[in-house]
Amino acid sequence: MSTYVPEIVPSHIMVDLLKSEWDSREGNIPMPHIFEANMMPENPMEVSLSISPAQDSALIVRPEPSGEKETLRDLGAQLKDVTFWISIDMYTMKSRQRLYDMKAEIRRIIHANMHSFQNESGQGYQVAWYRGFQDFAQNTKNIWYGIIRVECVNNKIAIDV
Protein backbone atom coordinates (compact mmCIF):
# COMPACT_ATOMS: atom_id res chain seq x y z
CA MET A 1 0.00 0.00 0.00
CA SER A 2 1.40 3.40 -0.97
CA THR A 3 1.57 6.59 1.06
CA TYR A 4 -1.10 9.21 0.46
CA VAL A 5 0.16 12.28 -1.39
CA PRO A 6 -2.42 15.03 -1.99
CA GLU A 7 -3.11 15.90 -5.60
CA ILE A 8 -1.74 19.23 -6.85
CA VAL A 9 -4.31 22.05 -6.98
CA PRO A 10 -2.85 24.71 -9.31
CA SER A 11 -5.31 27.44 -8.33
CA HIS A 12 -4.25 27.08 -4.65
CA ILE A 13 -0.62 27.49 -5.69
CA MET A 14 -1.46 30.62 -7.69
CA VAL A 15 -3.42 32.24 -4.85
CA ASP A 16 -0.58 31.60 -2.39
CA LEU A 17 2.00 32.88 -4.86
CA LEU A 18 0.11 36.11 -5.58
CA LYS A 19 -0.42 36.79 -1.87
CA SER A 20 3.20 36.14 -0.93
CA GLU A 21 4.90 37.89 -3.88
CA TRP A 22 2.72 40.99 -4.41
CA ASP A 23 4.75 44.23 -4.48
CA SER A 24 2.50 47.27 -3.98
CA ARG A 25 5.15 49.62 -5.44
CA GLU A 26 5.03 52.01 -2.48
CA GLY A 27 1.23 51.85 -2.38
CA ASN A 28 0.71 52.62 -6.07
CA ILE A 29 -0.58 49.09 -6.77
CA PRO A 30 -2.27 48.01 -3.51
CA MET A 31 -2.69 44.29 -3.04
CA PRO A 32 -6.17 43.38 -4.24
CA HIS A 33 -8.48 41.06 -2.38
CA ILE A 34 -7.37 37.65 -3.73
CA PHE A 35 -9.55 34.60 -3.52
CA GLU A 36 -10.22 31.34 -5.27
CA ALA A 37 -13.48 30.49 -6.98
CA ASN A 38 -14.72 27.46 -8.84
CA MET A 39 -16.47 29.50 -11.49
CA MET A 40 -16.98 33.06 -12.61
CA PRO A 41 -19.87 34.80 -10.81
CA GLU A 42 -22.91 35.32 -13.03
CA ASN A 43 -22.85 39.02 -12.24
CA PRO A 44 -19.41 40.70 -11.96
CA MET A 45 -21.04 43.39 -9.81
CA GLU A 46 -21.30 40.80 -7.03
CA VAL A 47 -17.53 40.85 -6.83
CA SER A 48 -17.40 44.64 -6.64
CA LEU A 49 -19.78 44.65 -3.68
CA SER A 50 -17.32 42.51 -1.71
CA ILE A 51 -14.52 45.04 -2.23
CA SER A 52 -13.80 47.26 0.74
CA PRO A 53 -12.94 50.96 0.18
CA ALA A 54 -9.33 50.22 1.16
CA GLN A 55 -9.13 47.42 -1.40
CA ASP A 56 -10.67 48.75 -4.59
CA SER A 57 -9.66 45.65 -6.55
CA ALA A 58 -10.23 41.91 -6.52
CA LEU A 59 -8.68 38.88 -8.17
CA ILE A 60 -10.53 35.61 -8.66
CA VAL A 61 -8.26 32.65 -9.42
CA ARG A 62 -10.07 29.77 -11.06
CA PRO A 63 -9.39 26.69 -13.17
CA GLU A 64 -10.46 27.12 -16.77
CA PRO A 65 -13.24 24.91 -18.13
CA SER A 66 -10.68 23.10 -20.30
CA GLY A 67 -8.95 22.14 -17.04
CA GLU A 68 -6.27 19.49 -17.15
CA LYS A 69 -5.02 17.68 -20.23
CA GLU A 70 -2.79 14.59 -20.19
CA THR A 71 -0.90 13.43 -23.25
CA LEU A 72 0.88 10.09 -23.38
CA ARG A 73 4.40 10.44 -24.75
CA ASP A 74 4.64 7.00 -26.38
CA LEU A 75 2.73 3.80 -27.03
CA GLY A 76 4.42 2.13 -24.06
CA ALA A 77 2.66 4.74 -21.90
CA GLN A 78 5.41 5.11 -19.31
CA LEU A 79 5.54 8.92 -19.43
CA LYS A 80 2.99 11.67 -19.88
CA ASP A 81 2.78 15.44 -20.27
CA VAL A 82 0.26 17.33 -18.14
CA THR A 83 -1.10 20.79 -18.94
CA PHE A 84 -3.45 22.77 -16.68
CA TRP A 85 -4.98 26.17 -17.47
CA ILE A 86 -5.76 28.85 -14.87
CA SER A 87 -7.63 32.13 -15.33
CA ILE A 88 -7.16 35.16 -13.12
CA ASP A 89 -10.19 37.45 -13.30
CA MET A 90 -9.27 40.99 -12.31
CA TYR A 91 -11.75 43.65 -11.17
CA THR A 92 -11.14 47.20 -10.06
CA MET A 93 -13.32 50.21 -9.33
CA LYS A 94 -10.33 52.58 -9.55
CA SER A 95 -9.43 52.96 -13.24
CA ARG A 96 -8.28 51.21 -16.38
CA GLN A 97 -4.74 52.23 -15.38
CA ARG A 98 -5.11 50.22 -12.13
CA LEU A 99 -6.29 47.22 -14.17
CA TYR A 100 -3.18 47.40 -16.36
CA ASP A 101 -0.89 47.96 -13.36
CA MET A 102 -2.34 44.82 -11.72
CA LYS A 103 -1.80 42.91 -14.98
CA ALA A 104 1.85 43.99 -15.02
CA GLU A 105 2.36 42.93 -11.38
CA ILE A 106 0.76 39.52 -11.96
CA ARG A 107 2.86 39.01 -15.09
CA ARG A 108 6.00 39.95 -13.10
CA ILE A 109 5.13 37.41 -10.38
CA ILE A 110 4.48 34.65 -12.91
CA HIS A 111 7.71 35.36 -14.81
CA ALA A 112 9.75 35.52 -11.58
CA ASN A 113 8.35 32.15 -10.46
CA MET A 114 8.07 30.51 -13.88
CA HIS A 115 10.24 27.54 -12.92
CA SER A 116 9.24 27.33 -9.25
CA PHE A 117 5.44 27.10 -9.47
CA GLN A 118 5.06 24.84 -6.43
CA ASN A 119 3.20 24.53 -3.16
CA GLU A 120 4.86 24.46 0.28
CA SER A 121 5.48 20.70 -0.10
CA GLY A 122 7.45 21.21 -3.30
CA GLN A 123 4.71 19.78 -5.49
CA GLY A 124 3.67 21.69 -8.56
CA TYR A 125 4.53 22.26 -12.16
CA GLN A 126 7.85 22.44 -13.99
CA VAL A 127 6.83 25.67 -15.65
CA ALA A 128 4.02 28.23 -15.52
CA TRP A 129 3.62 30.55 -18.50
CA TYR A 130 1.85 33.88 -18.71
CA ARG A 131 -0.24 33.33 -21.85
CA GLY A 132 -2.09 36.61 -22.26
CA PHE A 133 -4.49 39.27 -21.09
CA GLN A 134 -7.88 40.44 -22.31
CA ASP A 135 -9.48 43.75 -21.27
CA PHE A 136 -13.26 43.59 -20.85
CA ALA A 137 -13.55 47.02 -19.21
CA GLN A 138 -17.08 48.13 -18.36
CA ASN A 139 -16.53 51.87 -18.02
CA THR A 140 -20.23 52.68 -17.81
CA LYS A 141 -20.47 50.93 -14.46
CA ASN A 142 -17.07 52.11 -13.16
CA ILE A 143 -15.88 48.53 -13.07
CA TRP A 144 -12.81 47.61 -15.07
CA TYR A 145 -12.46 43.91 -15.73
CA GLY A 146 -9.80 41.77 -17.42
CA ILE A 147 -8.68 38.14 -17.57
CA ILE A 148 -5.17 36.72 -17.50
CA ARG A 149 -4.54 33.16 -18.72
CA VAL A 150 -1.75 31.01 -17.27
CA GLU A 151 -0.59 27.64 -18.58
CA CYS A 152 1.00 25.19 -16.10
CA VAL A 153 3.01 22.31 -17.60
CA ASN A 154 4.75 19.13 -16.45
CA ASN A 155 6.62 17.17 -19.12
CA LYS A 156 7.86 13.59 -19.06
CA ILE A 157 6.37 12.55 -15.73
CA ALA A 158 5.81 8.92 -14.80
CA ILE A 159 2.35 7.50 -15.16
CA ASP A 160 0.72 6.44 -11.90
CA VAL A 161 -0.07 2.73 -11.83
111-159 confidence digits (pLDDT tens): 999 998 888 778 889 999 999 999 986 655 778 889 999 999 988 888 8
Query: pLDDT tens, 67-122?
Result: 788 888 777 778 888 899 999 999 888 888 999 999 999 999 999 999 988 887 78
pTM of the model: 0.84
Instruction: Dump pLDDT digits (tens) for 16-47.
Output: 999 999 998 888 888 888 888 765 555 555 55
Q: How many domains does the chain have?
A: 1
Residue ranges making up the domain that contains 44 = 10-158
| Residue 152 burial by Cβ neighbours in a 10 Å radius (0-12, 13-18, 19+) | buried
For residue 151, being part of any structural domain is answered with yes
Is 50 inside a domain boundary? Answer: yes
Residue 61's pLDDT band (boundaries 50, 70, 90)?
confident
Please indicate, yes or no, if residue 33 is contained in any of the structural domains: yes
pLDDT at 152: 92
Q: Is residue 3 part of a domain?
A: no
What CATH number is associated with residue 136?
A: 3.30.2000.10
Does residue 4 lie in a domain region? no
In a domain, 29, yes or no: yes
Q: Is residue 115 part of a domain?
A: yes
Assess if residue 149 is contained within a domain. Answer: yes
